[in-house]
């Protein structure tokens, strides 16, 4: 019993450290770097907002990815305290090393690989259906992000279409996504529901027509407000939209990342600790993300803002809109996602829209190699480490 308790403490500590490294990584800092680079926000205030919104996203939208990481990656077995601890420790130290060394470690790849590795070592069977869905999402992310980023940037930089016309359209598009984001607190019995679902249920007992009408009204109101505001204060309106996009991406980062840190704790909550509400687990992970963001995000934001200052507000908006959409898609389907992959793909798209500036094929190649290596390395190490621990226990 004492040994199990010690393992549970290590598992919780490793999970908290993983959440801390996620909050400290560039995926938390990147959303507000464009706003800081455009002098729309100070570095310290941006760090505070990043941490707060990341915490909110973890608690309100993090359930789906948490369930996938905790219960969907391996079939036939449930992660033991030893397996969960090893998976979290391996991934957390790997990610932490990347944070402190400045390498773009893909968090989703590392933690997914380590969980699969220890699960296979326990005798579990591969969840091929889940792997196919996750793999397709990872492979298609550059295709789904870079072209829209290219198009959005081209439109914003074009002399033929004024920003006063195109920006309200972008705002309306983002508003449609926001009202269909699902939140844990809006649903009943632990289920998630969107603002549009809730409004439709209130207005017409959940009728589809009411949901569509509500969505159209919200999008139209936001577009009209933006058009009028842009007519009076163009620069201020653009900066506010940039801030709003940064907030939405930071919120989504918390929702998409918290499951990577606390997902392996989910089986322990059911089998060892008894019935623990998933909200409590998400709160635990959210605190780790909040701490990591507040402690290290200022340094990351300051460094990244210099790069985004070179991009300018137009290209920054071109990066953030498709990043927000694809990340929310991953959250909706409960797919572990790499924000490094998302942001780099978007930056490549906007770089080509601006004539290829800032796009290094050599860097892209080495970054891709690091990402592929992340999942292979963590899977192999997770498998070998668990087998080694099992042999050591049997020898004792």
Per DSSP, the residues of 332-392 read HHT----HHHHHHHHHHHHHHHTTSTT--HHHHHHHHHHHHHHHHHHHHHHHHHHHHHHHH
Q: Please report the pLDDT score of residue 201 as a whole number.
A: 85
Q: Find the helix or strand (DSSP H, E) in which 75 lies.
A: strand 74-75
pLDDT of residue 226: 94
**Alpha-helical segments (H) within 62-127:** 63-67, 81-101, 107-121
Provide the β-strand partners of residue 125.
Answer: 75
In this structure, are residues 27 and 95 in contact, taking their beta carbons and an 8 Å threshold?
Answer: no
Report which of 29, 313, 363, 12 is spatially closest to residue 156, judged by C-alpha positions. Answer: 313
* Predicted local distance difference test score (pLDDT) of residue 132: 93
pLDDT value of residue 228: 93
53 in Cβ contact with 254 (< 8 Å):
yes
Domain boundaries, the chain: 2-395
Note the helical H segments in 272-360.
Answer: 278-333, 339-353
What 3-state class would DSSP assign to 106? coil
For residues 193 and 20, give the distance between their C-alpha atoms in angstroms, rounded to a whole number.
28
Q: Beta strands 125-126 and 182-183: pairing type?
A: unpaired
Q: Read off the pTM.
A: 0.88
Which residues have C-beta within 8 Å of that of residue 396, sequence separation ≥ 6? none
Under DSSP, is residue 158 helix (H, G, I), strand (E, B) or coil?
Answer: coil
Torsions phi, psi of 182, nearest 5? Answer: -95, 135
Q: Could you tell me the CA-to-CA distances from 359 to 33, 155, 251, 344, 351 in Å, in that order? A: 19, 20, 27, 10, 6
Neighbours of 259 (CB within 10 A): 31
CB neighbour list of residue 224: distance below 8 Å, 6 or more residues apart: 168
Q: What does the block give as tokens for 321?
A: 């809109």
- In the three-class reduction of DSSP (H, G, I as helix; E, B as strand; rest coil), residue 142 is classed as helix
Please compute, for residue 379, the number of CA atoms within 13 A of its CA located in the half-sphere on the CB side: 15
10-residue mean pLDDT profile of the chain (396 residues): values are 70 83 70 69 81 90 89 87 83 70 70 91 92 92 92 87 88 95 77 86 80 94 94 88 90 90 79 70 90 78 62 83 94 88 84 67 71 84 89 79
Residue 31, number of CB atoms within 10 A of its CB = 33
Q: Tokens 């940037």 correspond to what residue? A: 153
As given in the structure block, the two tokens for residue 293 are 């963001």
- CA dist 318 and 307 (Å) reads 15
Q: Which residue has the tokens 């290596």?
A: 373
């Amino acid at each position: 019993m004492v040994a199990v308790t010690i393992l549970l403490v290590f598992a919780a500590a490793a999970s908290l450290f993983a959440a801390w490294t996620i909050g400290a990584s560039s995926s938390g800092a990147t959303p507000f770097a464009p706003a800081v680079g455009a002098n729309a926000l100070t570095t310290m205030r941006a760090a505070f907002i990043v941490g707060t919104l990341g915490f909110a996203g973890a608690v309100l939208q993090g359930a789906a990815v948490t369930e996938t990481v905790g219960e969907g990656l391996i079939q036939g077995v449930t992660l033991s305290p030893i397996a969960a601890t090893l998976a979290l420790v391996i991934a957390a130290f790997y990610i932490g090393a990347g944070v402190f060394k400045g390498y773009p470690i893909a968090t989703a790849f590392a933690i997914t690989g380590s969980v699969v590795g220890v699960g296979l070592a326990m005798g579990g069977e591969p969840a091929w259906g889940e792997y196919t869905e996750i793999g397709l999402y990872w492979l298609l992310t550059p295709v789904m992000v870079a072209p829209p980023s290219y198009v959005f940037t081209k439109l914003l930089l074009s002399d033929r279409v004024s920003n006063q016309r195109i920006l309200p359209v972008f705002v309306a598009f983002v508003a449609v996504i926001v009202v269909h984001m699902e939140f844990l607190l809006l649903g009943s019995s632990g289920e998630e529901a969107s603002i549009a679902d809730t409004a439709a249920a209130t207005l017409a007992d959940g009728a589809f027509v009411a949901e569509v009408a509500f969505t159209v009204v919200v999008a139209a109101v936001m577009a009209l407000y933006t058009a009028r505001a842009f007519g009076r204060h163009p620069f201020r309106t653009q900066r506010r939209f940039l801030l709003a996009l940064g907030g939405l991406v930071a919120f989504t980062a918390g929702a998409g990342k918290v499951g990577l840190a606390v997902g392996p704790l989910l089986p322990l909550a059911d089998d060892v600790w008894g019935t623990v509400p998933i909200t409590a687990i998400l709160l635990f992970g959210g605190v780790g993300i909040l701490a990591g963001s507040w402690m290290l995000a200022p340094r990351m934001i300051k460094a990244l803002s210099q790069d985004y200052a070179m991009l300018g507000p137009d290209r920054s908006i071109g990066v953030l809109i498709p990043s927000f959409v694809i990340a929310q898609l991953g959250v909706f389907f409960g797919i572990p996602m790499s924000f490094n992959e998302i942001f780099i793909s978007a930056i490549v798209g906007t770089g080509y829209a601006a004539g290829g500036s800032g796009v290094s094929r050599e860097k892209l190649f080495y970054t891709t190699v690091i990402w592929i290596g992340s999942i292979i390395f963590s899977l192999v190490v997770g498998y070998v480490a668990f087998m080694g621990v099992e042999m050591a226990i049997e020898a004792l």
